[in-house]
Chain A
């Protein structure tokens, strides 16, 4: 079984390819990229897909998604989350461990991995928790987690407040060469905060979360990464100060990487003024100067990758008073369109850079053999139609989380087709499921 993707612009940053050419897929693997010998000859067993006008990329990787299963299936489950990923152009997603029970042992991690294989739409890589029950007190059994398939550890959703515990986590994780994903938030400073602290929190009368709540913890974690030599990955960086800390840490040779979310790159805290709870997210949407700094840092390479922090919620947790609403944005199905419309088409980012931020960069952070179109690798491929214009309509989401803040926004540049291991899982606006 061969598949020929013909006529598209192939963008494979890791292999420095950015040209109109062909990609040949054979038995679920990349067979060749470039002018395919024998293309004119025997094509009887080759399915040809005309990709003219499209962009053919390595499959997109999301380091940060909340799939909610087990325990919160009313918000999302591995099936709906996988569908949402496929529709959003992602072929590999990392599942955060703040489920119920928490992914703090091999059994739960194994369940997530197994269930994802059963669903079989995209690659789902579990992330284990740093501490048991994400309580911030005792380390989870990391060896067991890795054994069960975890690619990183994180207490995301919560900060590891105890410095000694975080130190040991970074230290211990070295033995398995996995990164520690840190949700940086000094919860004493953020307290009951509900939006970015600044002029607008004054105007809207909402409790503020100062930028320093994030920056203090990033500083601490960077120092602990230095102390231990562990690999630190900062989740959802959102402030100017955080970027400065990360820049200095990188210059010092500390093993630190970071991600930014599409919403922090495209929205400001002004959006909160309507008290519409779909804008409520943690870290909060920041003011213009922070957003500008993030956009600059994503272009300069200081920010290593883009991750969605896909946080689906049930409608009742969002269709309510702002103060009572849950934090989080359903992001898998809009991420690529936001990157294309708000960053690539506006020339904040070059196309190849944007693709790298979604492919080779996150793969490198995880240390997995993905994110490129290198021959013999699994044929995980995302094809984008850069000119498709569509209005964000949450009712059409595959995710159970119908809570994007972009409802009604018109965006240009959407995923057109998604292939996982050579199999088409998304095309013509529909997710294609394997017959089980």
Chain B
């Protein structure tokens, strides 16, 4: 009912709470399927899904591919580095070529914000944004929310701290948009140079001090820090970053009882997260990976309902 009018999934910014709830609810039985000996249901038999990643990410791509396969969709990947993109083909032409091969759904990642929005306007295929530039990474936020809800029973009213490079993080943005719709108190923690301008107007609070930022929270979502940012002069060194923002076991004690730790992976141990914590019992990193497949199955299932021509604008 909620997905009737939806052709694409480009971000959580413009998604309703009801739609998000439907995805999370649908992901519960999907997770059961993954745990079975026979991990396959015929729901999307005869549907085609293609992944196109203009930016490397084997794990997200594999997660989508498995999600599709578990639902019996035919999945395929366009390896961008070996494709004609290298020969200077425009994105529009690449997408049109793919469309003519007949898949129903296009999962794309791109280094530029808004690229999936541009593609969605130019194709009848349904488009799922698997991360665009520094804009959104909706399925990562959905799996984070699923993981939190599964462990905490609810999202309502939780305090969530997102720690790291908020400025360049599409994971942070999607989490902020998603969690805010469930009445969560979202905090962003990181160096001032890695805070986007006027971030508090999104209804979050910013903290430069790690201890202050995570005290009393239910969930800590630690972001990956990239070395390029140091070269851009945004902070002096990874060592100093680690000194100020690396999550250590003592930090977890500052957070609320039973606080949990998330990380979108891959982790830089010893930089944004200490090894002890990375392997600790409250760290959901591995669970997040499984949940990622479940959430993507839910999404693929919900989005492949109905006939394409009815929805395409």
Q: Which residues of B contact A197 (CB under 8 A)?
A: 197
Interface-facing stretch out of A225-233, A315-323, A376-384, A414-422: A315-323
Closest to A287 in B: B198
Is A205 at the interface (CB under 8 A from chain B)?
Answer: yes
Is B13 at the interface (CB under 8 A from chain A)?
Answer: yes
Known A274-B117, A322-B113: A205·B202 in contact at CB below 8 Å: no
A275 to B13, CA, bound (A): 14
Category for how many chain A residues contact B: 20 to 34
Closest to A198 in B: B197
Whether B134 and A275, one on each chain, are in contact in the complex, defined by CB atoms closer than 8 angstroms, is no
Q: Which residues of A contact B170 (CB under 8 A)?
A: 205
Known A203-B13, A205-B133, A205-B135: A323·B113 in contact at CB below 8 Å: yes
Partner of B118 from the list A202, A205, A275 (CB cut-off 8 Å) is A275
A323 to B113, CA, bound (A): 7
A427 to chain B, nearest CB (A): 37
Q: Which residues of B contact A320 (CB under 8 A)?
A: 90-92, 118
Within residues 102 to 148 of chain B, which ones have a CB less than 8 A from any CB in chain A? 110-115, 117-118, 132-136
Within residues 176 to 224 of chain A, which ones have a CB less than 8 A from any CB in chain B? 197-199, 201-208
Whether A323 and B196, one on each chain, are in contact in the complex, defined by CB atoms closer than 8 angstroms, is no
Is A324 at the interface (CB under 8 A from chain B)?
Answer: yes
Q: Which residues of B contact A322 (CB under 8 A)?
A: 112-115, 118
Tell me which of B92, B113, B173, B196 has the highest count of chain A C-beta atoms within 10 A of its own C-beta: B113
Is B199 at the interface (CB under 8 A from chain A)?
Answer: yes
A199 to B195, CA, bound (A): 11
Q: Which residues of B contact A276 (CB under 8 A)?
A: 118
Q: Which residues of A contact B132 (CB under 8 A)?
A: 205
Tell me which of A198, A203, A275, A277 has the highest count of chain B C-beta atoms within 10 A of its own C-beta: A275
Whether B202 and A203, one on each chain, are in contact in the complex, defined by CB atoms closer than 8 angstroms, is yes
Closest to B134 in A: A205
Whether A199 and B198, one on each chain, are in contact in the complex, defined by CB atoms closer than 8 angstroms, is yes
Partner of A206 from the list B111, B113, B118 (CB cut-off 8 Å) is B113
A277 to B13, CA, bound (A): 20
B231 to chain A, nearest CB (A): 13
Whether B114 and A204, one on each chain, are in contact in the complex, defined by CB atoms closer than 8 angstroms, is yes
Whether A204 and B197, one on each chain, are in contact in the complex, defined by CB atoms closer than 8 angstroms, is no
Closest to A206 in B: B113
Closest to A202 in B: B196
Closest to B110 in A: A321
Partner of B113 from the list A198, A205, A277 (CB cut-off 8 Å) is A205
Is B201 at the interface (CB under 8 A from chain A)?
Answer: yes
Q: Which residues of B contact A199 (CB under 8 A)?
A: 197-198, 201
A284 to chain B, nearest CB (A): 14
Closest to B122 in A: A319
Known A319-B92, A321-B91: A201·B196 in contact at CB below 8 Å: yes
Known A205-B132, A205-B173: A321·B114 in contact at CB below 8 Å: yes
A320 to B95, CA, bound (A): 11
Whether B114 and A206, one on each chain, are in contact in the complex, defined by CB atoms closer than 8 angstroms, is yes
Known A203-B13, A203-B202: A321·B115 in contact at CB below 8 Å: yes
Whether A323 and B13, one on each chain, are in contact in the complex, defined by CB atoms closer than 8 angstroms, is no
Whether A202 and B197, one on each chain, are in contact in the complex, defined by CB atoms closer than 8 angstroms, is yes
Closest to B167 in A: A202
Whether B134 and A207, one on each chain, are in contact in the complex, defined by CB atoms closer than 8 angstroms, is yes
Whether B114 and A323, one on each chain, are in contact in the complex, defined by CB atoms closer than 8 angstroms, is yes
A316 to B111, CA, bound (A): 19
A324 to B185, CA, bound (A): 36
A274 to B113, CA, bound (A): 11
Closest A-B pairs by Cβ, 9 of them: A275-B114, A205-B135, A323-B112, A202-B196, A199-B198, A205-B113, A205-B134, A321-B115, A275-B117
Beyond A201-B197, A202-B197, A204-B113, list 6 extra A-B contacts (CB 8 Å). Answer: A198-B197, A208-B197, A274-B117, A275-B115, A320-B92, A322-B114
**A-side interface residues toward B, CB under 8 Å?**
197-199, 201-208, 274-277, 316, 319-324
Sampled A-B contacts (21; CB under 8 Å): A197-B197, A198-B198, A201-B196, A201-B197, A202-B198, A203-B202, A205-B132, A205-B133, A205-B136, A206-B133, A207-B134, A208-B197, A274-B117, A275-B117, A277-B118, A316-B90, A320-B90, A320-B91, A322-B113, A323-B113, A324-B91
